[in-house]
Structure 1
Amino acid sequence: MGLIESFFGTISSLTWGWSLIPFLVVLGIFFTLISNFVQFRYFTTMFNVLRSDPEAGKRGHVSSREALLVSVGGRVGGGNIAGVAVAITLGGPGAVFWMWAIAIVGMATSLFECLLAQAFKEDQGDGTYRGGPARYITEGLGREYRWLAIIYAVCLIAAFGLGFNAFQGNTVAGAAQESLGIDRVWTGAGLAVLTGLIVYGGIKRIAKVADVIIPIMAFGYIAMALLVIAINIVELPGVIWEIVSNAFGLQEAVGGGMGAAIAQGLRRGLFSNEAGLGSAPNVAAAAYVPHPVNQGIVQAFSVFIDTIIICSCTAFVILLGDVYQPGVDIDGVVLTQQSLVFHVGDWASYFLTFAILLFAFSSIIYNYYLGENALTFLTNNKPMALHVLRLTIVAVVFIGATAPGATAIFFFSDPLMGVLALVNLLALAMLFPTALRILNDFRAQQRAGKKPVFNPADFPDLKIDARAWSDAAEDASAPSARSA
């Protein structure tokens, strides 16, 4: 076991420690510059997705908004509560600024990876679609790169489908036991049953559940943060100055100064918003939109919600209070919890427990879908394989919840996520010219005063499933149709 742990530790060092973060940052900046700051040009358009999409509903498709909420449910999790607190503890308030910076850059990366997932998605014959990095690697780069797609798919199942779901089950059960006194067995059983009911409904049921719980989760947490900000409004400018001055070394809150702020901000920001890691494109491909860029814009908005809004909420709650003391090591969740209690009273600890429950559960159903999507690629949609995966994930959630020490078995999750992220970034770099062509097609139609519609016939050199776009032309011309 020691040899295996050492092996995965080396993988983690080679990915997260040396190559992955610089690659993510450089590629994100490159995408931003070459695309002429695409995330800023379409920023106001992003908010249109919050409206319902009647055309998607008519044909039984997963709507752009539903796909957004599923991806938000996956991105928003422990990193937004505990991760931000850890970044501030280890990197000082300046780490928050660098989380913002990497999110802005990551919006462009997410736009392009999700654009590609949409372009190369496959019609499933029942109104749903499948796609993601495994499919845009094989269809975009060619069948000779299938081995790379297989590495990606295996890592996705192991890291997200199994490992992270065990951790999420543990998080939910631990929070319920600590705050409410509920035994882990009961929490694990309830969580396993709920997970089974949802995952056996496929992406449509997952999307419907996300459409309900994610707004409750996000708006509830934002409302709490706004209450804290309102109580401490006169101190807010000082906190913002503290974040900026720390970020550029004008003040030093922790050992390592500006370097620690950059390192922690970038690492925690990337881990939280997942831009470029190759997870969100799996969900993005499931949505019905008239043009791939529509969903790319939507998923850029998901990064904005995760980091610029939700992570900032946690940061302000912590920095506006007196619990945080520079240089004092304290568990991330505890720091956020104690900060909330400091501002509004003991009842806030129960509120945070409820938030953690929703955050973790939304991540479980998101992680399951990533595993399902990867498995369908590996097994060519074999029903028995899906059945085995669903039962396995229900069992993993239960075991993770009831036996806290069992999560140590899944030590390989972070290293494998590093591998799949590196594979995805290599594919993105190689497919960027294709993505830029699709973006330019969208822009050209806009300049001509048209509602952009993707026509596979305009890209005869690309292996695109024309059936996945058969509804787009008709619906985009309808009076009720809208762009995301």
Structure 2
Amino acid sequence: MESVKSFFDTLGGWVWGPVMLVFFVGTGVLLTLILKGLQFSMLGYALKQVFASHKAEDGSDHEGDISHFGALMTALSATIGTGNIAGVATAVVAGGPGAVFWMWMTAVFGMATKYGEGVLAVKFRTTNAKGEMSGGPMYYIQNGLGKNWLWMAYAFAVFGSIAAFGIGSSVQSNSVAQAIHTSFNVDPAYTGVALTILTAVVVLGGIRGIATASSFIVPVMAIGYVLGGLAIIVMNLDLVAPAVGIIFEDAFTGQAVAGGALGTVIRYGVARGVFSNEAGMGSAPIAAAAAKTDHPVRQALVSMTGTFLDTIVVCSITGIVLVMGLMSGGEFVKPELSGAALTTVTFQKLLPGIGGWVVTIGLIFFAYSTILGWCYYGEKCATYVFGEGFANIYRVIYVATVMAGTVVSLDLVWLMADTFNGLMAIPNLIALILLSKVIVSETRDFKEKRKRGELP
């Protein structure tokens, strides 16, 4: 067992090493340049499309399974999770406050990456035997790059179907069980049973059930968490300017408060940013492909807003509050505190009475929604490899790993999950670069049709 852990530890270190992080950000920079900063010029329009419900000329729905909003909420259900609470805290402690700035930079360029993924997801999606949409990196690699690249499509699908059991189910269920045990002293096994039943009820209904649940859970949990963070900021306005100032200072010096070497600040900021918003990982386009839309670009714009909401909004709240906590003295920060525990005590310190509950409840719902979203991702990857008949089998196995995650040690699972998440990104990023001309062409087509009045 130790040899297996050592293997994944080494492999994971390489996968998430400097070269890979440059690959992530570099792809975003490339797409930003060739799309002429579309994530800035069209962000306002993109946010409006989240709630738009465009119909075909005959009044019928456009081809697809779920609405723009449902697709975005399904994607956000998987991305807004423990990374927004625990991941940001890890970045601030290990890398310094400046890591928050580099998370922002990752999100800025990641929006272009997420946009590109969305365009290709809808452009190259197919309809399966059940009449449902199937799409994502494996399909735009197969249909966009051709049969010579089929091995890469299968590689992505295998990595994705395995990664879902880790980062999607067992790791998340363990986080929920531990949070409830700490706050309410409930045996993790009881939490496991309840969580398994709740998961089964939703995921066995497929994408429509997941989208319906996500469309309720994600807005409620995100708004609740953001309001808690904003309350702290408003109550401690005198700390906001110094906190933001130290984030910018430490981003380029690595010397402020908990900071260290500049390279460490950048590394943790970029790594946690990528891990949180998943731009470039290839997971979100699987949900984007299911959207009812009249043009690939429209759903891509909606997908792009997911990175904005996840990192620029939610992660920023966590990061600024954590730095404010450090600026206020930080005497409550104990050496053994890290991840979600640090975020919890910081919120409690700056918002006495309910601050800790905001984080605990947020963590529970964030993790549960991630379980739902990743089930869909893993299922689509698995059925690409084994066929549509494997869908129900995969769902049952997935639900079982939710229960397992609450009662077993997860050291190895974490290592494997990190590794397979990173491995997913390699074929996806290669495809984004090779198909970048398609992304530009579809973008130009959309803009021209809008100018002619053919699209709203």
TMscore range, shorter length: over 0.9
Contact 2:24/2:429, CA 8 A, preserved across alignment: yes
**Structure 1 position 273 matched with structure 2 position 280:** no
Q: Give structure 1 regions of 4+ aligned residues with deviation exceeding 6 angstroms.
A: none
Matches within 5 A, 1:180-199: 180-199=184-203
TM-fit CA distance, 1:245: 1.2
Q: 1:272 & 1:299 partners in 2: Cα distance?
A: 15
Residue 468 of structure 1 is matched in structure 2 by none
TM-fit CA distance, 1:430: 1.1
Indicate how the Cα distance of structure 1 residues 327 and 173 shifts in structure 2: closer, same or farther if over 3 A, else same: closer
The residue type paired with residue 318 of structure 2 is: T
Contact 1:179/1:349, CA 8 A, preserved across alignment: no
Residue 67 of structure 1 is matched in structure 2 by 71
What TM-score does the superposition give when structure 2 sets the normalisation length?
A: 0.93
Higher mean displacement: 112-121 or 337-346: 337-346
Q: How many residues are matched?
A: 449
Q: 1:134 & 1:157 partners in 2: Cα distance?
A: 12
Residue 455 of structure 1 is matched in structure 2 by none
Residue 433 of structure 1 is matched in structure 2 by 437
Indicate how the Cα distance of structure 1 residues 409 and 225 shifts in structure 2: closer, same or farther if over 3 A, else same: closer
TM-fit CA distance, 1:234: 2.7
Q: 1:422 & 1:45 partners in 2: Cα distance?
A: 31
**Structure 1 position 353 matched with structure 2 position 328:** no
Q: 1:14-65, CA deviations, whole angstroms, 9 ceiling, x for partnerless residues?
A: 3211431011111111110111001111111122134252749964830001
Match of 1:422 among 413, 426, 439: 426
Three-state SS of the structure 1 residue aligned to 2:48 is helix
Higher mean displacement: 149-158 or 120-129: 120-129
Q: 1:439 & 1:335 partners in 2: Cα distance?
A: 43
Across the aligned residues of Structure 1 and Structure 2, the Cα RMSD in angstroms comes to 2.1
Q: 1:169 & 1:111 partners in 2: Cα distance?
A: 30
Contact 1:400/1:407, CA 8 A, preserved across alignment: no
Contact 2:85/2:318, CA 8 A, preserved across alignment: yes
Higher mean displacement: 101-110 or 332-341: 332-341
Q: 1:98 & 1:409 partners in 2: Cα distance?
A: 27
TM-fit CA distance, 1:401: 1.1
Matches within 5 A, 1:338-349: 338-349=345-356
Q: 1:74 & 1:430 partners in 2: Cα distance?
A: 26
Match of 2:387 among 351, 359, 380: 380
Contact 1:217/1:359, CA 8 A, preserved across alignment: yes
Matches within 5 A, 1:316-465: 316-321=320-325, 322=328, 324=330, 330-382=337-389, 385-403=390-408, 405-406=409-410, 408-409=412-413, 411-451=415-455
Residue 10 of structure 2 is matched in structure 1 by 10
Q: 2:253 & 2:413 partners in 1: Cα distance?
A: 40
Higher mean displacement: 411-420 or 341-350: 341-350
Indicate how the Cα distance of structure 1 residues 2 and 329 shifts in structure 2: closer, same or farther if over 3 A, else same: closer
TM-fit CA distance, 1:147: 1.3
Residue 150 of structure 1 is matched in structure 2 by 154
Q: 2:261 & 2:335 partners in 1: Cα distance?
A: 15
Matches within 5 A, 1:29-68: 29-51=29-51, 53=53, 55=55, 59=61, 61-68=65-72
Contact 2:96/2:260, CA 8 A, preserved across alignment: no
The residue type paired with residue 33 of structure 1 is: L
Residue 20 of structure 1 is matched in structure 2 by 20
Higher mean displacement: 282-291 or 47-56: 47-56
Contact 2:102/2:269, CA 8 A, preserved across alignment: yes
Q: 2:414 & 2:142 partners in 1: Cα distance?
A: 29
Contact 1:162/1:393, CA 8 A, preserved across alignment: no
Q: 1:423 & 1:414 partners in 2: Cα distance?
A: 16
Residue 466 of structure 1 is matched in structure 2 by none
The residue type paired with residue 391 of structure 2 is: L
Q: 1:290-311, CA deviations, whole angstroms, 9 ceiling, x for partnerless residues?
A: 1101111111100000000000
Q: 1:291 & 1:125 partners in 2: Cα distance?
A: 23
**Structure 1 position 252 matched with structure 2 position 256:** yes
Contact 1:199/1:368, CA 8 A, preserved across alignment: yes
**Structure 1 position 217 matched with structure 2 position 224:** no
Q: 1:344-366, CA deviations, whole angstroms, 9 ceiling, x for partnerless residues?
A: 21332223221111000000001
Q: 1:244 & 1:26 partners in 2: Cα distance?
A: 22
Match of 1:234 among 238, 260, 274: 238
Q: 2:119 & 2:172 partners in 1: Cα distance?
A: 29
Contact 1:74/1:362, CA 8 A, preserved across alignment: yes
Contact 1:287/1:295, CA 8 A, preserved across alignment: yes
Indicate how the Cα distance of structure 1 residues 298 and 389 shifts in structure 2: closer, same or farther if over 3 A, else same: same
Q: 1:359 & 1:243 partners in 2: Cα distance?
A: 26
Contact 2:281/2:425, CA 8 A, preserved across alignment: yes
Three-state SS of the structure 1 residue aligned to 2:388 is coil
Three-state SS of the structure 2 residue aligned to 1:207 is helix
Q: 1:18 & 1:242 partners in 2: Cα distance?
A: 25
Q: 1:97 & 1:329 partners in 2: Cα distance?
A: 25
Q: 1:129-183, CA deviations, whole angstroms, 9 ceiling, x for partnerless residues?
A: 1100011111111122211111111110111244531000100000011001111
**Structure 1 position 131 matched with structure 2 position 138:** no
Q: 2:355 & 2:260 partners in 1: Cα distance?
A: 33
Task: Tell me the percent identity.
Answer: 35
The residue type paired with residue 194 of structure 1 is: L
Contact 1:323/1:339, CA 8 A, preserved across alignment: no
Match of 1:176 among 175, 180, 184: 180
Contact 1:89/1:328, CA 8 A, preserved across alignment: no
Q: Which runs of 5+ in 2 are unaligned?
A: none
